[in-house]
Structure 1
């Protein structure tokens, strides 16, 4: 299943279930949970919704996300609407993705911000600010708005990869990642 197909399947499943969560928010939650525990199931990211279509999409999303997070070439990408969607909607989706990610990190109760490096704490702070992002009408009309959005998405992508890489080695027990020691 491609990222585009997963986004659509999640959107349909969430709409049918009358969920207020968005595909991006779900991916953010799942990604945050996977940073804490890479054994987390995809269905944990959705609150009180049961659907075969949704479960299938969440399983595919989990596998795609882990593949990206473990990719040595940093292939992780946040699940966000395509470029054909209006910029203000994409910006709001990015904010909801960041909000979901922060929720996913803290959901287990195992996340300890004060034990992270200063660089990672700064990324977490920036993601917190981005969770409240929005566009004014003037900003949406700006010539640089698309480029600014692309830079923010890239910052989120790399920042999340950094968080994952810092948290991952601290796991105890079986892991899908080999130790380099």
Structure 2
């Protein structure tokens, strides 16, 4: 069975982690993945190595697991570079409690920011003021209180914070990859 056209969601990747004996959330690594693809186009081999190290294994358990982990990278790269601007962080969905979803966003943000700590000042200085401000705001998201009551206000706040993280990732990608995605069609 080929997984090339399958859409990978949080539960699919979490299940792949479970196959490798890991109970950790994929959100942290997804944040790292988004930042790494934006900054240095991490190769498929390097990504697989990083995921395996995080899972405490030398290599994926089987070809199907490898295909899921590599498909996750491919899906993220395609979404970051898509003209539709449809990138979505890999986070727990509405089947999870609000505190679990907030924890997922917090972990995603921590992974994303961890990669940014490796960026030199010369690169940071070239970033737009909008990008620098968006990334500064992510510092606050990384330390949000995840012990939330199930309420529509908290639901709306979490949605807004998730949207901010999504936009920051896309802004970083587009600034590091001028012309990608090409959202305006050039005149013939």
Task: State which of 155, 159, 176 in structure 2 corresponds to 1:150.
Answer: 159
Question: Normalised by the size of structure 2, how large is the TM-score?
Answer: 0.77
**More RCO (CA 8 Å, sep 6+):** 2
- Structure 1: give runs of 5+ residues left out of the alignment: 171-175
What is the alpha-carbon root mean square deviation over aligned residues?
Answer: 2.6
Cα deviations across residues 73-121 of structure 1 (Å, max 9, x unaligned)?
A: 21100001111100001001001001111223445x5673233111111
Cα deviations across residues 10-41 of structure 1 (Å, max 9, x unaligned)?
A: 22332343446421111111111000122522
Q: Specify the alignment match of 2:168 in structure 1.
A: 159
Q: 1:40 to 1:102 in 2, by over 3 A?
A: farther
Aligned-partner Cα distance in 1 for 2:113–2:50: 12
Count of matched residue positions in the alignment of Structure 1 and Structure 2 = 169
Q: 1:10 to 1:143 in 2, by over 3 A?
A: closer
Q: Specify the alignment match of 1:116 in structure 2.
A: 127
Contact 1:33–1:40 (8 Å) recurs in 2: no
Q: 1:152 to 1:92 in 2, by over 3 A?
A: same
Q: 1:141 deviation in Å? A: 3.8
Q: 1:28 to 1:64 in 2, by over 3 A?
A: same
Contact 2:174–2:181 (8 Å) recurs in 1: no
Using the TM superposition, name which of 87-96 and 113-122 deviates more: 113-122
Alignment of 1:62-73 (within 5 A): 62-73=73-84
- Structure 2: give runs of 5+ residues left out of the alignment: 1-5
Q: Specify the alignment match of 2:3 in structure 1.
A: none
